Amino acid sequence: MTLFILSETSAGYALFKAKDKKLLKRDDIATEAATAEGACSLLKMKEFHKFESAAAALEEAAALTEGKVTPTLANMLNSIKDEKKVSLAVADPKLGNAIGKLPGLQITPVSDSSTADVFRAIREHLSSLIPGLMPEDLGTMSLGLSHSLSRHKLKFSPDKVDTMIIQAIALLDDLDKELNTYAMRVKEWYGWHFPELAKIINDNLAYSRLILAMGMRSNASSTDLSDILPEEIETSVKGAAEISMGTEITDEDLENIQALAEQVVGFTEYRAQLSSYLSARMQAIAPNLTALVGELVGARLIAHAGSLMNLAKSPASTIQILGAEKALFRALKTKHDTPKYGLIYHASLIGQASGKNKGKIARMLATKSTLGLRVDALSDWGQIGEGEKEEPSEEEKSAIGVAGRAMVERRLAALEGKPIRANNVAIGPQGQQQPGKWSIKEARNLTAVEINSSPIAPDGIQAQQATTSILNLSAI
């Protein structure tokens, strides 16, 4: 049986013919091919196809890494189709299987360990086996092709797309922690000067913006706060500033407090921008999962699993308790009841269910999420060739997720016996709907007895003394 050897180089495809048909069975290949003359005595070049450009070399190399036979390689192999009983040695087993399936070619691919010494000899003496190929040119082409192929893999690897989601949700969680720490520090710091302000304004962003606009509390009456607060709240702040029991601070103290308040405002604005970016990425990469559980829960599930593909491979039972591994293993060890939900608990549909129905809704939602995930991970959106088919719309991409959510909503309404709330509605800890805009509630009036019995601050100043009704502000 005639033996041919296919060598894929950075310069092109080289097809060699073995002078000895039983070359692969010899034990002295390494010794015989130690020199260029020895390698030339074992192999004879049958054909060499040089790549026309660096782009063509990249295209061929990218196809070879996936085990595909390109038209260029197929045309080259046609030169040996008239040979009878041909065996072809290839370095990649996947490529060998693909060559063996080519129509019209009676070729037996060989890609086992017996070919290692032959390919090693070809790599060492390639410039001697291929006339006209200089070693320095081959090194330059190899370096350029390796760089291009690395950029190609990083750019088009499907596993790298969801890395953006994983990094974004991790940064979002870090920002929330830092924002909470900074905002509490601002309130505690500025509270020594204007302690009543924290009870009037609960929103951290509005509190920080107010400090930047007003400065000292003595400037409250002459500062226009209409851009930051509603009229009722502005009146309440100015009234509280006139009777405040806070201590005086210096300009240097205020400068440092305002510097920290600027950090809170900047981080809050960047967090809103990052949240919008995360929503857009989730809608593009996992539209069905987003329709079912929302952007944040979906992103945390992907980050916990490591990638979208890993999450799509998981069964519904795993997705349901993903994030509650410690509780699960503790329950199995102590032979107690296992948890019913993990990260998926924070989905809005589960938040609307009562305690006895949360487990049922979590199981249904995990089942529908599994179906949507597999569509998101295994679909070929964005990879369809031109002229074949139009890119589906956003509604078509998320059709399975929307239909699954509607089914879970109907089941939830039947279990709860009440209509469910619309999508993207904030749900409180007890299942109640959170307000979505400024809302004002009046605090109770403090009597003189309550004022006199209020706790005493460390410096001897009575804390939180109130003589008028103070309006509380709550916002999401």
Residue 12 near residue 48 (C-beta atoms within 8 A) = yes
Q: Where do runs of H (alpha helix) occur along 314-444? A: 316-320, 325-334, 348-352, 358-378, 394-397, 399-416
CA atoms within 13 A on the CB side of 446: 14
pLDDT exceeds 90 at position 313 = yes
pTM above 0.85, yes or no: no
Q: What are phi and psi of 44, to 5 degrees?
A: -135, 130
CATH class, 305-416 region: mainly alpha
Sign of CA dihedral 345, 346, 347, 353: positive
255-272 residues labelled b (16+ CB within 10 A) or e (exposed)? eebbebbebbbebbeebe
What residues contact residue 245 under an 8 Å CB cut-off, 6+ apart? 195, 196, 461, 462, 463, 465
Helices and strands, counts by H and E, the chain = 23, 7
Residues 268-302 pLDDT 10s: 999 999 999 999 999 989 999 999 999 999 999 99
pLDDT of residue 454: 42
CA 336 to each of CA 225, 254, 328: distance values in angstroms, whole numbers, following the listed order = 56, 55, 9
Architecture per CATH, domain 164-272+436-474, reads as Orthogonal Bundle (1.10)
| Least reliable range by pLDDT among 47-56, 68-77, 346-355, 447-456 | 447-456
CATH assignment of 2-156, among 1.20.1260.10, 3.40.50.720, 3.40.50.880, 3.30.420.220: 3.30.420.220
Give CA angle at 260 (191, 426), nearest 5°.
80
pLDDT of residue 187: 94
User: To which residue do tokens 């998926």 refer?
Assistant: 344
Kindly indicate the confidence band of residue 397, based on its pLDDT and cuts at 50, 70 and 90.
confident
Mean pLDDT, the chain, whole residue set: 82
- Higher-confidence residue: 107 or 247? 247
Domain boundaries, the chain: 2-156, 164-272+436-474, 305-416
